[in-house]
Structure 1
Amino acid sequence: MHVAEAGTGPLVLLLHGFPELWYSWRHQLPVLAAAGYHAVAPDLRGHGRTQAPVDVEDYGMAAHVADAVGVLDALGESTAVLVGHDWGASTAWAAAELHPERFTAVAAPSVPDRPRSPRPPLTELRSFAGDRFNWMLYFQEPGVAEADLSADVARTMRLMMYGLSGDAGDTGVRMVTGLPRDAVLLDQMPEPEAPAAWLTETDLAYYVDEYERTGFTGGLNRYRNADLDWELLPELGTGVIAQPALFVGGDLDTAVRFADPNRMRNHIPNLTGPIVLPGAGHWIQQERSDEVNHALLTFLRTVD
């Protein structure tokens, strides 16, 4: 496992999402270090410079939670504060629920925690989607999304980063609710008129170089375990997360719009927030790094 780290002090473990890398935390690492924390951001399994298992089943939630625990063990730490974005947020919530003795607090930009669904997640999604396009369902068939996303990695990263950001306005909502089932995902995303202030050409090039080398299968295999996770971890999403918790989201993020984060209070009694930033999209710790850093540091001080 490849990790980027900065600083010394109490451990803060940062888990990225898809299609991201440790690099999505580039604005948080130095700030956390300067505040007296040991900030560690790994490339998750199958991403960047971390080993990529071959089997789809090796990308399930149990494996990702075990990786998070394994980082603590490798660093000789008994506990950490866990911060996750996108799929990393889902892993952070799961790890906090399954291993409260190791993760003393949890923060999740963008993706709220959700209770266990009554039916397997893909069944729920097919019912929700009907005759509309759905990302999760599109990602299920091995090889299909890989071919689309890998055809032009620079275009893929440019469109996905822009299309789900606050810069694109309601584009993300249209892609979730307004596309026909047979839509070609990238063809529905608008081209940015200019480089984003939060994502320079150098930033974009880092992502492009890494995904051109590795492909997208590692990240896509995470989606392909949704139903298996539901079967193998029946306790997940059924208990209370008692640790201090923080949620920060953007009001233009579809993950916030379609899952009211206020409902988390029912099973996360020590929740700070939800903090919802106007005009922010899905890549919130990159788009609005100053505000996210302020929220994280304020939260960490209360945990200390």
Structure 2
Amino acid sequence: MSVVIYSFLQTAKKPLLLFLHGMGGSSDLWRQQLWYFVCCGYEVVAPDLLGHGLSSAPRDPSQYTFSQMLDHITLVFDLFIPQGRKCVVIGHGYGASLAAALARGRPLSVRLVVLVSCGGPTPLIPNPPAKSIMYSYLAAILSPFLSCGCCSRDILYSPRGKHFAASTLSGHSVTPTPRYVLEYVAKGQNWPEGDVAFHRRITVPTLLLHGMKDDRVGLVEMCEMEKTIPRAFLEMIPGGGHELMTDAPLEVCRAVHRFIKRWQHHL
């Protein structure tokens, strides 16, 4: 597994930042955030998921299930974040589910979580839930009322599960993700444990970042996530789409940095 690491000698009192990209991406998508936080004196670690970026890409489908991908990331976590070291885990899309699982699996080390374009508090499923044309029209009509709280978010929220599709990231990734890897990861998105009850047990402060131009994850889903995680805080970025880290890099950097400073007493 390929891992990008940057650090300064003066980072001893600051938490380590672990960046997890989503399906079809690579650690290179975080490069502007990596340099920003390195310049602020943080140590950062950004692995390429199996089959992505510069990591190896075996042709065994069983290697790309969510549980296997989580095992790989947990190995990286334990290698770079020894027991007692405090860290902030930052995940995007599919990587946000890995980040949420790490928050539960390593509670003594993970002190803050940032979930970018994460979707709602529902399990991952291998097949995307179908949405009718009527649903799309209704969502477009009610969206302004949902955002200002004039009607219930539950109208357009169905906790059947979420599915992350491969992103078109050829202009940003160092190495294109092989098509068979995307197919295997898509079919391996089976995480029944990641339901509402699971996310309610994430007790650390959690920042949710949502791009208002996101065409894959809806505001209603992000609001449901905020409502579910006890100490979650939703921040919306007007000019960003689903790939917030490249659409609005400086806004993401500043939002994450503000969040870390706000909760520095927790670190």
Q: What is the TM-score normalised by the length of structure 1?
A: 0.66
| Alignment match, 2:155 | none
- The residue identity in structure 2 corresponding to 1:41 is A
Q: Is the 8 A contact 2:209 2:235 kept in 1?
A: yes
Q: Does residue 182 of structure 2 align to residue 260 of structure 1?
A: no
How do 1:1-304 and structure 2 match up within 5 A? 1-8=1-8, 9=11, 10-78=15-83, 79-116=86-123, 122=127, 125-126=129-130, 128=131, 160-161=168-169, 204=171, 207=173, 210-211=175-176, 215-226=178-189, 228-230=190-192, 234=193, 237-239=196-198, 240-257=201-218, 259-272=220-233, 274-304=234-264
SS at match of 2:121: coil
Q: Is the 8 A contact 2:120 2:221 kept in 1?
A: no
Superposition deviation, residue 18 in structure 1:
2.8
Q: Tell me the distance in 2 between the aligned counterparts of 1:7 and 1:95.
A: 22
Q: Is the 8 A contact 1:5 1:29 kept in 2?
A: no
Superposition deviation, residue 69 in structure 1:
2.0
- The residue identity in structure 2 corresponding to 1:238 is A
- Between the aligned residues of both structures, percent identity stands at 26
Q: 1:89 to 1:137 in 2, by over 3 A?
A: closer
1:239-292 deviation line (CA, Å, top 9, x unaligned)? 3211110111111102442643122233311112x1111132111111111110
| Aligned structure 1 segments of 4 or more residues deviating by more than 3 angstroms | 136-139, 234-237
1:26-49 deviation line (CA, Å, top 9, x unaligned)? 100111112221111111111121
Q: Tell me the distance in 2 between the aligned counterparts of 1:76 and 1:92.
A: 14
Q: Is the 8 A contact 1:13 1:41 kept in 2?
A: yes
SS at match of 1:19: coil
Q: 1:247 to 1:137 in 2, by over 3 A?
A: closer
SS at match of 2:236: strand
Which sections of structure 1, spanning at least 5 residues, go unmatched?
140-144, 146-156, 162-202
Q: 1:76 to 1:89 in 2, by over 3 A?
A: closer
Length, aligned pairs only: 229
Q: Tell me the distance in 1 between the aligned counterparts of 2:253 and 2:163.
A: 33
Q: 1:52 to 1:31 in 2, by over 3 A?
A: same
- The residue identity in structure 1 corresponding to 2:223 is N
Q: Is the 8 A contact 1:97 1:236 kept in 2?
A: no
Q: 1:19 to 1:4 in 2, by over 3 A?
A: same
Q: Tell me the distance in 1 between the aligned counterparts of 2:242 and 2:44.
A: 22
Q: Tell me the distance in 2 between the aligned counterparts of 1:255 and 1:93.
A: 19
